[in-house]
Amino acid sequence: MKYVRDAKTIFLNAVGAVQPQNFLRNRVKVSSGKLHVDAETFPLNRPCHIVGFGKAVLGMAVEMENILSSNLRSGILSIPAGTQECFKDQPQLLLKNNSVLRIFEGAKDNIPDLDAMEAAKAIKDLCVGLTKDDLLLVLISGGGSALLPLPKFGLSLDEKQKIIKNLSKGGANIIELNCVRKMLSELKGGGLAQIAYPCRVVTLILSDIVGDPIDSIASGPTVENKDAHLAMEVINKYNVDISEIALNILQQPKLESFNYNHVANFIIGNNEIACEAAKRSAVNLGYNKVELFSKDIQGDVVDVAKRYLQIALDEVKKNETVCIIGAGEPTVVVKGNGLGGRNQQLALEFSKIACEAGLDFCFLSCGTDGIDGPTDAAGAVSTTVIGGLQEIDDFLENNDAYSFFSRYQNGEFLVKTGHTGTNVMDLHILILKPKT
Ligand SMILES: Nc1ncnc2c1ncn2[C@@H]1O[C@H](COP(=O)(O)OP(=O)(O)OP(=O)(O)O)[C@@H](O)[C@H]1O
Ligand SMILES: O=C(O)[C@H](O)CO
């Protein structure tokens, strides 16, 4: 079990290194009456407001409130249900009692719900009231799409939810999902920036998408939507049924072009620091050979598992213990009706083929946000010991990895952290022992 413990320690250290406060402290400061973000400056001789949505924006807001102090007048945050309860013993991660920011919790299981929609409406109302004499800070992190749902006129939240759920189950990647979300939502795809005009908008983004595409992270509420014409292609590709209303919205010609000169978007962090911290942690645990495989892993979990197997087969020939780190965001085509998430599915998928190949390994796959699919686990860790279990195929087929890991080893292979307060995609840790 040493390797299971090590893999979990490496994951937790990596998550610890990407707490959003750290990113802001390094990149944002106030001096001489100005807000500095890297080399750019924004005069603070005006009231500042914050709106934020995503799994990491509470920590970002705590830090921003410290940085802005009395310049901050008002603000609204939309964060996942249960976040504050999770941090109740860590007051440094919560807003102060006299904070001017209002918090809404919603989107349980990452599904946009009425609570999140209330938050989106409040955010819209705040932005509508701003003038050119205000400064708006928009804090964005992954999970922001589900936390800012405001369907365009005539479309119900229910239908919007179903469209996105069916695309996701069909294996659509996040760029495809958000291409559709941008069209269906009032505030996404630049909508928030348009509503806030003529107020100066400064957006700080913690990236949870490979390549840091600012127009897709949380569906780019402050970035011009340049791929409106692709939304119907995505619907057709995954053969998703939609109503006449949704069809009309998706087929709408692009609105007249809008000038985004009042907006400055900044990526303040991504999964690079998590990968570096994971490597450091592995070295500190005594692994002499630590490799970063990739920080941009995408594609179906079945293919990703095969890629890891190939690497493992190559490495094992070298006859030394190695720790391989990977990061990114694979996808799952969900065909069954079991319970799981892409990390648990990947951990089970890889373990099955690695056992078949006779490898001696430990493999962890977890979301840095602490929540994998609609489960209470961040992901799972697995080892050689699951080899030979006949029923693995059934659990994989039924997308029921959570049930598998819950029953196996008393659930010890599930990694449970609760909300971590950050979100920089998934981490994979593969520890490989030489063949004896
Ligand atoms: N039973 C299941 N087995 C395997 N994967 C599943 C299952 N149910 C859902 N998924 C997958 O889980 C993913 C959604 O997971 P999750 O809610 O953790 O999203 P996320 O990408 O971390 O969210 P965000 O990017 O908004 O932070 C989808 O890719 C979906 O296909
Ligand atoms: O919220 C979202 O859209 C995803 O997490 C990607 O940023």
Atom of ligand 1 nearest to the CA of 344: 4
Residue 275 in 3-state DSSP?
helix
Ligand 2 proximity of 219 Cβ (cutoff 6 Å) = yes
Q: Give the pLDDT score at 436.
A: 67
Structure-token pair, residue 355: 């056992």
CATH number at residue 410: 3.40.1480.10
Ligand 1 geometric centre to CA of 335 (Å): 13
Q: Which of 9, 260, 283, 23 has its CA nearest to residue 141?
A: 23
pLDDT digit string, tens, across residues 340-356 = 999 999 999 999 999 99
What's the mean per-residue pLDDT of the chain?
A: 95
Residue nearest to atom 17 of ligand 1 (CA): 373
Q: Do both 217 and 283 map to the same domain?
A: no
Spatial contact of 172 and 79, defined as CB atoms under 8 Å apart = no
pLDDT category, 255, cuts 50, 70, 90? low
Ligand 2 geometric centre to CA of 3 (Å): 32
32 lies in a domain? yes
Spatial contact of 370 and 19, defined as CB atoms under 8 Å apart = no
Q: Do both 152 and 264 map to the same domain?
A: yes
Q: Do both 287 and 219 map to the same domain?
A: no
Q: Give the pLDDT score at 253.
A: 65
Q: Do both 282 and 252 map to the same domain?
A: no
7 lies in a domain? no
Spatial contact of 214 and 182, defined as CB atoms under 8 Å apart = no
pLDDT digit string, tens, across residues 114-127 = 999 999 999 999 99
Q: Do both 284 and 237 map to the same domain?
A: no
Domain finish residue from 234, 269, 304: 269
Structure-token pair, residue 100: 């001017």
Domain finish residue from 269, 300, 332: 269
Atom of ligand 1 nearest to the CA of 168: 31
Q: Do both 284 and 263 map to the same domain?
A: no
Q: Give the pLDDT score at 142.
A: 97
Ligand 2 geometric centre to CA of 147 (Å): 9
Q: Do both 180 and 215 map to the same domain?
A: yes
Q: Do both 253 and 329 map to the same domain?
A: no
List, in order, residues 6 or more apart from 292 with CB less than 8 Å away: 275, 279, 324, 325, 326
Atom of ligand 2 nearest to the CA of 177: 3
Instruction: Please give all residues whose beta carbon lies within 6 A of any atom in ligand 1, as ranges.
Output: 55, 110, 142-143, 145-146, 168-169, 208, 331-332, 334, 338-342, 345, 367, 369, 371-373, 399, 423
Ligand 2 proximity of 202 Cβ (cutoff 6 Å) = no
> Nearest bound ligand to CA 212?
2
Task: Name the domain count of the chain.
Answer: 2
Q: How far is CA 135 from the centre of its chain?
A: 27
Q: Do both 356 and 246 map to the same domain?
A: no
Spatial contact of 417 and 10, defined as CB atoms under 8 Å apart = no
Q: Do both 206 and 297 map to the same domain?
A: no
5 lies in a domain? no
**C-alpha torsion angle, residues 337, 217, 420, 428 (rounded to 10):** 70
pLDDT category, 256, cuts 50, 70, 90? low
Q: Give the pLDDT score at 252.
A: 80
How far is the C-alpha of 325 from the C-alpha of 285, rounded, in Å?
Answer: 14
Q: What residues form DSSP beta bridges with 430?
A: 324, 363
What is the amino acid identity at position 334? V
Q: Give the pLDDT score at 374.
A: 94
Domain finish residue from 249, 269, 289: 269
pLDDT digit string, tens, across residues 181-240 = 999 999 999 999 999 999 999 999 999 999 999 999 999 999 999 999 999 999 999 999
CATH number at residue 213: 3.40.50.10180
Q: Do both 265 and 276 map to the same domain?
A: no
pLDDT digit string, tens, across residues 281-308 = 999 999 999 999 999 999 999 999 999 9
361 lies in a domain? yes
Residue nearest to atom 3 of ligand 2 (CA): 218
Q: Which of 89, 97, 27, 32 has its CA nearest to residue 64?
A: 27
Q: Do both 197 and 323 map to the same domain?
A: no
ipTM for this prediction: 0.97
Residue 204 lies in domain: 19-269
Atom of ligand 1 nearest to the CA of 337: 1
Average pLDDT on 169-177 reads 95
pTM to 2 decimals?
0.95
pLDDT digit string, tens, across residues 137-154 = 999 999 999 999 999 999
Structure-token pair, residue 88: 């109740």
Share of residues in the chain with pLDDT > 90 (%): 92
**Strands (E) located in 216-353:** 263-269, 290-297, 322-328
Structure-token pair, residue 260: 């985004």
Structure-token pair, residue 349: 């998928």
